Structure formats: structure tokens, C-alpha cells
Amino acid sequence: MLKYLIKRVLWMIPLLIGISLISFFIMHLAPGDITNNEASFNPKTSEESRQKLRELYNLDKPVIVQYGLWLKRMTTLDFGNSFASHQKPVFWQTRDKDGNVTKGMIQEALPITLMINVLGLIITLTLAIPLGIIAARKYGFWQDKSITLFNFIGFSIPGFWLSLLLMYWLGVVNNWLPISGLHSINYDTFDTWGKVKDSLSHLFLPVIIPSITGLAGITLFVKNGMLDVFHQDYITTARAKGLSEHQVVYTHALRNALLPLITIVGLSIPGLIGGSVIAETIFAIPGMGKLFFDAVMMRDFPVIMGILTIGSALTLIGNLIADIAYAWADPRVRRGVMRD
Amino acid sequence: MKNLAFLINQFLKRNAKYRVIATCLVLSACGDSSQELSAQALSNLNKSYPSQSGGTLLDATIGEPSGLIYMVAGESAAGAISSNIFNKLLKYDKNLDLEGELVEGWQVSSDQKTITFKLKPNLKWSDGKPLTSADVLWTWQAVTDEKTRSPYASDFQLVKKAETPDALTFSVTYDQAYAPALDSWAGLQILPKHLLQGQDLHTTAFARKPVGSNYYKLDSWANGENIKLSRNPSSVLGQAKIDNLVTRIIPDSSAQFLELMADNIDSMGLDPIKYVRIIPARPELKQKLALYKELGNSYTYMGFNLKRKPYDDVRVRKAINYAIDKQEIIDGVYLGLGIDIASPYKPGTRWSNPDLKPYPYDPKKAKVLLKEAGFTDIDGDGVLERDGKPFSFEILTNQNKEREKSAVLIQRRLKNVGIQANVRAIEWASFISRFIKTGDFDVVILGWGLGLDPDQFNIWHSSQQAPGQFNFIGYNNPSIDKLLEQGRTELNPDKRQKIYHEFARVLLEDSPIVYLSAGYGLSAIHKRVKGIENPAPPAGVGWNTYDWYIPEPLRRPVSGRTEISAN
């Protein structure tokens, strides 16, 4: 097992280098760089100052040289500073000689996105598993059909549209919830309980809406997993030896049916980190999706590379954890890994 | 990455459209659930109140500033906030004439090469330290420093010598008289030397906790959420009325509008649909919001590649100018909230030549001119030909809703006179690097700012055609060159005015571009905010924000929570 783990971790290094190389070149295939964004198309600015900027950022060098410079910095885990955002560090905070701390862009954005998406995933799972079980047990009956209908309505409604409707209904008409942002303007003046309440009310819509739209997929997975398991011989055996339906479903079938869910959760890790541009824009949440989108639009290369690299690393780690979890949960897989 | 960016962008554009539709649906569907104000609240809102200080003004911005040192941050979001914190030597008054801000006055030497500024006495930074000519000198040194990456440095690099004979005097000498100099000193925000000396302007923590001298100082900055300013008690220009300015960062304009409806922000910029259709149709919004329009800061034009045939022929350019119905674009694209212009200056200001009239819509004249230029429809397919080649071109523009719509209207009008035009919209960075820089285009639709200084050397002078420079249409007219050179070295406003009136006349006659329209800047501000001049003077609605006030009875209720305290 340990040998397997070390092998997997070591494999990640060439993988990450490969990912970064491909990302770097694709990024440079896009025409333009930081010096020709829309704001710089202003007769008050001069081509000389843009050229100077290009030299300072090494953008005048061949792409392969730029990649070499980037890789060299990466050996010391230095993700560099943003071109566009006033030289803010891309990844982690830095401290200047006067003790002023400048926080990293990913450091600030990642926890927000992670919190929203993990909460969303938890809600999705707590709703999807019971719904999937019910749909499988009542397969073909009205319960199954109405769950399917509900899910596909949620799946088909565009998230931004639902967001705007709910923002209007809950925020403007009834004034029950805040409309956008993460905190109230006077958040600092609240006591602890007030702060918690304020944060939760701001998080409600951004968490609930992706959960509703994401419900369909997972419910279907659980339902199909259950249906598959119901046809297995050991379920027939369990029924034949006279176990109660409750025991058959929850002790024997469910445990087996939920195994593929580990893979699904593992696969959703890139999404947990990546965030959604549209949701973050509508709800004015300074998360990873918005950060990445803005960086691409501004051709802010260090930020793009930082997000892609950290995103890939976290994804690889997430996959590894998912595999380990799978091995832990499923003895068949575990034996296969041990033999490896 | 290009394709990815393109796809994302396309998707967002489409969504932006859907979002507008969605908002409209939402608005009409829920139209009956109105929250109209009570008669009492309404009459309170419309009463007049004496000017008083206090209160908080909440507004929203689409983009977060990257930092508050404007000379290196550069973007408008940074300028909007930093201009409340820092002062400049000069400023434009409500009629867009220059006046002193930090200075009492300025003198131009007889050879027009030296400008001497006299600072007001007893100026102070908000930390209590004196603001002197040394700070001004240091700011000039910083913006022109080799290591400073300022997009706006070029005007200041022309200064040959800068001196501070005493603490209140600052003088600059140029190699030759440079008229746009005054405008440049009305744009440079003066920074405190004692806090920034020896620091790297690009990485300094000062950019996120600045110390300035203007009406407001920074209170707090919550990353990606909001920026709070409070009144600077030692402001050099006196005291503003409103205690706190809070700018919330809300990237989506639909979300901004919902916040405005829910009374969580006091003001926002509007698009024509909200201004003309949505707000007037909803009583509860109409009751509490006041609508303002001001002359915009830019105009949209259609430019020709003058190095290519047949656009080198003035008759062809004029024909196209006559063939396009500008009023149709203003009505159709801007819902009437725009004007057609005849010179690249704000109408009503001194630089705009009042005798010039835009090209009228006259397809007959267009056809005559095209015939004179040798275009006839030989094969009868409705498209004109010359030398056997049909007259057809591609109108390129960036992905900008207004420009794309304008292009489609133009396409139809050109078809009527026998010109076949195709429209293509391209993502900004690709548009610039693949078409503009390489000069590989026939016709583009783009925009230019209606600058406050009349100098437009960079846009029209024949020497400014290298890749990356702004005369990318390849305009080369010796008489225009001469006027631009004269205008640059003439500091006397009246003589300068004559030069630029003539410049605009020649430009209109030569028609290197077709002026399409100048849209209005539109905004809605809650009626609780008083002291706003309406109709807006040439400098715009926000020219006197320091005099705006929020009467106590109209302030936002704070429902048991403490409002952010003023100093």
C-alpha cells in the first residue's frame, strides 16, 4: 500500500510538469498580452511604455524561454505576482520590510469558492441519496416519476435565471435575504452570532442554487446504482433468507450502491476548486471562477498559470484520495492495490 | 486558450443577453407586487431640505480597482475611487475649463516653454504632514522614473526640467511649448513623498492603504466586496457634506440593478433600456429614483483603412458617410439617448466648432459620389463594381453590443446604395493584435474618447502610424499635420480654439472616419441624495459630489445596527 502511494505521488511530478507545459503554450497561443487590453487603447498611453512593460514582464522573449523562467521560479514554489492586479502575489501572502502583509490572490479566493462548493455538495448529497433510494424502490411508480420530473426541471432551468428570479423574489420583493455579496456593509459592527447569521444569509442562494441544478445527476446515479444492486444475486439471497426489506435496502444494497459515488465525488474536485464564473459574477462573490475569468480576459499570465497549476495539483491529490477511499471502502479494490 | 476564452466570452455574451431578457421577464411578471411608497414617505422624499452634513452614500462598481495609485493602476475603477482621495494641481470646472485645485494659479512664460505653479498655502496630507512642492516634484519623478510602469508617463517625459524654488512653487520647463501640458497636470494625482520615498510603487502596501489630501480618506477595503471612504477632516479643499462613501463591488449589472431596487445602493450607471423602459414603467422605482443623463466621454466611429483602395478616395468615404443614417443608429441602438457629432469634441465646449454639421442621410448623393468614383453595377446583381471587382468589405468590431448592432444597421443602409458589407465581431485582444496592429482590415467600428484637451496628435498625425500607435487607419493629410503641430505649441486658449475649429472642419470635409454617435452617460440616483445639478453641466452629474447631501430624515434606516461611524 505504501509503495503504491509513493509511486502515485512521484508520478504526479512529471504529470504536473506536462500539464503546466501544455497550459503555458496554449495560453500563449491566444493573441494579445497584458499590454493590449481595452483600457490600454487610449491615446494618452504610448507604444513605448507598452513595449517597456513587455520587456519588464519578459513578454518579448520566446515562449520557451518564458516557460523556462516560470519553471525556474516554480522550483522555489514562487508563483510570481499578478501583472494586472498591482503586483499582488498570485498564490500566497508576502511580507515587505515594514511588516505589511499582502495576501495572495488564490489564498483569498480559494477558501470562498471551496466553502460554497463543499456546502453545496453536502446539500446535494443529503438530498440526492434519499431521493435516489426512493426512486429506485418505487421504480416506475408516481414517486419515481415525480422525483425524475423535479430533477429534470432543476437540471434544465438555467442557473443564472433561477438566481435572478430568487434574488428578486427573496431580496427585492420580500427583503428576506441579501441580494449579493458575502457580507453586509456593516458586518464589522455585528456580534459573533450576528456575523454567523449574516454570512449564512449571504451564502444561502449561492449554495442552494447549484445544489438544485446539480441534484439531477447524483440522484440518477444513486437510483441506477440501487437498481443495479437490486438485481444482484446476493440481494435475492438476502430476500430469500427472509431479511426485512429495510435490512435488504439499507444494510446490503445501499452500501454497495454508494461505492461509485466515491468516484463521482472524486471527479467533482476540479469543480469544487474551479468555481463558477456566472454564479460568482451574479452574486458578486470574489471566488476562483471570477479570478480565472478576469485573468484570461486580461491575459494575466502568472495568475492563469498559478490557478491552473494549483488546480491541477489539487485535482491530482483529490483523485488520489478518492482512490484510497475507494480501496478503503471496497475490499476487492484494496486487494488489487495490495498486490500491485 | 484563445478558443477557450472565446467560447467563454461568447457564452457570457449570450448569457448577458439572456440576463437582460430574464430581468425584463422578472420585472414584468412581478409587476403587481409593487412596493410603492406611502404618501407620507413620498412627500418627504420630494421635499426640499437645507444642505447638511452626515450620512452614507452607497454605490457600486463593476470592477475592483487593482490599487489606488492611479498612475500605475491605470483603470477607470481605480480612478473613480482614488480621485476622492488624492488631489491634482489643476482640475476642470463644471464647464470643463481649467482651474486650480492644489494651486492658486499658474503662469506661462513668454516663450510658452515654462509653466510655474503656485501652491495654496498650508496644504496638509490626511496624516497631518505638510503637502509642499517637494511632493509634487517627487510625484513627477516617480511617474517618469525608468522603473515605473505607468501608461500615462509620456506627457511627463517631455518635461526637460522640473524645479521647486520654494515650498509653494513648482515649475516645469519643456523643450518646446507643449499645450497639452496643462491637461496632463490636471490628470496627475499628487502622492505623498514622505510615505512613498524609496518604495517600489508597484508592490507598495500604500496602494491598498493610501494617504491623500482630498475630501475623503480610505477607511477599509474588503477584497472583492467593498471599499469604504470616510471624510478627511484635514481636506485641503474644505469639507464634503456626506460622511461616508461606500463602493460595493458587484460585477453583474443585473445584480446591481436588483440592489438598487431593494434600496441597498443609492446610485448606478444605467443602460438605455433601464433608463427609457424599465424605470419609468415601474411606479415604485420612478418614485424613489431620479434619472440623470450627461454627455458621454466617448464617441463611436466607423474608420477606413486609408492605405487600401478604394478608401483612399475621398468620394468613396463621403459616399459611405452620406449612405449611413446616424439618427437610425441613435434611435435603434441607444434608444434616442445619443447625439450625432461633427467634430471629435464634446458639443457645447469651446473646442467643438458650432458651425459644423454632421453629414446628413442622403443615399442619392452617395450614389452620385460612388458613380463619380467609378463604381457602377454592371452585372445587375445590386452590388456596384469597379474594374470588375464588386464593392464589398468586412466591418470588423470588437464584441460590444452597441457596436455590433450599429454595424448591422449600417450593413442594411450600405446595401441600399450597392455596397455589400459583412459584419464580424472579434474578442478584444485578438482584434487588436491580429487586425489593428497589422493593419489587416478594411473598415472597423471603434470608439475614441472625447478628450478634455483638444490635442489629438496621437490619433491623426501622419507620424503616428507604426504598429501599436493610434493612427492605425493610416491618415496622412499635411494640412491636418500642420494644424495639429500648431495646436500643440499654442497655450493661448483663444488662439488654440481657432486652430482646432479649423482642424475639425478639415477633418469633417476629408471624412477619414464616419462619426456614428456619442451616447449619453446615464445614471439613476436615489432621491434621498440632494444637491445634484440637473440637467448636468458639461462636466457631468458628478462634478460636485462634495456638495451632495443626504438630509437626516431620508438617511437609510440602520435598524438597531450601528452605522459606520464618521470621524
> Are B275 and B402 in a shared domain?
no
> Are B62 and B131 in a shared domain?
no
Band (pLDDT 50/70/90 cuts) for residue A337 is low
| Position B222 in a domain | no
> Are B328 and B469 in a shared domain?
yes
Q: Look at residue B565 in the predicted model and tell me its pLDDT.
A: 36
Which domain covers residue B315, as residue numbers?
A: 298-520
Q: Residue B224 — left, alpha, or beta (φ > 0 → left; ψ -120 to 50 → alpha)?
A: left
> Are B405 and B499 in a shared domain?
yes
Chain B residues touching residue A83 (CB < 8 angstroms): none
Angle formed at CA A303 by CA A300 and CA A306, multiple of 5 degrees:
145
Joined grid coordinates for residue A63: 515562449
Q: Which pLDDT tens digit goes with each residue over A258-314?
A: 887 887 787 777 778 877 788 888 888 888 888 888 888 778 888 888 888 888 888
CA–CA dist A225, B552 (Å, integer) = 64
Q: Residue B355: what residue type?
A: D
* 3-class state of residue B541 by DSSP: helix
| Position B79 in a domain | no
| Position B73 in a domain | no
What is the percent of chain A where pLDDT is above 70? 95
Phi, psi of B130 (to 5 degrees): -70, 145
- Cβ–Cβ gap B4/A180 under 8 Å: no
| Position B106 in a domain | yes
- Considering B152, B186, B205, which residue would you say is the last residue of a domain? B205
- Cβ–Cβ gap A36/B433 under 8 Å: yes
CA–CA dist B411, B425 (Å, integer) = 14
Count of Cβ atoms closer than 10 Å to residue B510 Cβ: 16
Chain A residues touching residue B400 (CB < 8 angstroms): none
pTM for the full model? 0.83
Q: Look at residue B9 in the predicted model and tell me its pLDDT.
A: 46
Residue with the larger pLDDT of the pair B333 and A320: B333
> Are B277 and B372 in a shared domain?
no
Beta-strand runs (E) in B42-136? 56-61, 90-92, 98-100, 103-108, 114-119
Q: Residue B390: what residue type?
A: P
> CA distances (Å), A123 to each of A117, A126, A195, in order?
10, 5, 22
CA–CA dist A118, A126 (Å, integer) = 12
| Position B461 in a domain | yes
> Are B476 and B400 in a shared domain?
yes
Which among A173, A186, A299 has the least Cβ separation from residue B30?
A: A173
Band (pLDDT 50/70/90 cuts) for residue A71 is confident
Handedness of CA B177, B183, B184, B188 (dihedral sign): positive
Q: Look at residue B190 in the predicted model and tell me its pLDDT.
A: 94
> Are B99 and B35 in a shared domain?
no
Which among B1, B187, B467 has the least Cβ separation from residue A29?
A: B1
CA–CA dist B324, B516 (Å, integer) = 9
Nearest to A208 by CA among A109, A273, A117: A117
Handedness of CA B1, B2, B7, B10 (dihedral sign): positive
| Position B71 in a domain | no
- Cβ–Cβ gap A41/B432 under 8 Å: yes
Q: Which pLDDT tens digit goes with each residue over A166-211?
A: 888 888 888 888 888 888 888 888 888 888 888 888 889 888 888 8
Q: Which pLDDT tens digit goes with each residue over A97-122?
A: 777 777 788 888 888 888 888 898 89
| Position B212 in a domain | no
> Are B431 and B464 in a shared domain?
yes
- Cβ–Cβ gap A37/B261 under 8 Å: no
| Position B43 in a domain | yes
- Cβ–Cβ gap B428/A38 under 8 Å: yes
Q: Look at residue A320 in the predicted model and tell me its pLDDT.
A: 84
Exposed e or buried b per residue across B288-310, where buried means at least 16 C-beta atoms within 10 angstroms of its C-beta? bbbbbbbbbbebbbbbbbbeeeb
Chain B residues touching residue A170 (CB < 8 angstroms): none
Q: Look at residue A336 in the predicted model and tell me its pLDDT.
A: 67
The interface pTM score, or ipTM, of the predicted complex is 0.80
Minimal C-alpha gap between B187 and chain A (Å): 11
Q: Which pLDDT tens digit goes with each residue over B369-409?
A: 999 999 988 888 888 988 888 999 999 998 888 899 999 99
> Are B118 and B180 in a shared domain?
yes
- Cβ–Cβ gap B9/A297 under 8 Å: yes
Q: Look at residue B172 in the predicted model and tell me its pLDDT.
A: 93
Ranges in chain B, pLDDT < 70: 1-37, 558-567
Q: The CATH number of the domain where B453 resides is what?
A: 3.10.105.10
CA–CA dist B201, B196 (Å, integer) = 8
Q: The CATH number of the domain where B114 resides is what?
A: 3.90.76.10
Joined grid coordinates for residue B200: 517600489
CA–CA dist A175, A185 (Å, integer) = 16
What is the percent of chain A where pLDDT is above 90? 0
- Considering B184, B205, B226, which residue would you say is the last residue of a domain? B205
Q: Residue B194 — left, alpha, or beta (φ > 0 → left; ψ -120 to 50 → alpha)?
A: alpha
Residue with cell 446591481: B256
- Considering B188, B205, B222, which residue would you say is the last residue of a domain? B205
CA B475 to chain CA mean position, Å: 24
Nearest to B289 by CA among B526, B131, B2, B542: B526
* Total domains in the fold of chain B: 3
> Are B509 and B544 in a shared domain?
no
- Cβ–Cβ gap A179/B564 under 8 Å: no
DSSP H helices in B58-178: 70-73, 76-85, 133-144, 154-157
- Cβ–Cβ gap B12/A50 under 8 Å: no
> Are B263 and B312 in a shared domain?
no
Q: Look at residue A338 in the predicted model and tell me its pLDDT.
A: 56
Which among B8, B66, B259 has the least Cβ separation from residue A84?
A: B66
> Are B179 and B276 in a shared domain?
no
Minimal C-alpha gap between B246 and chain A (Å): 8
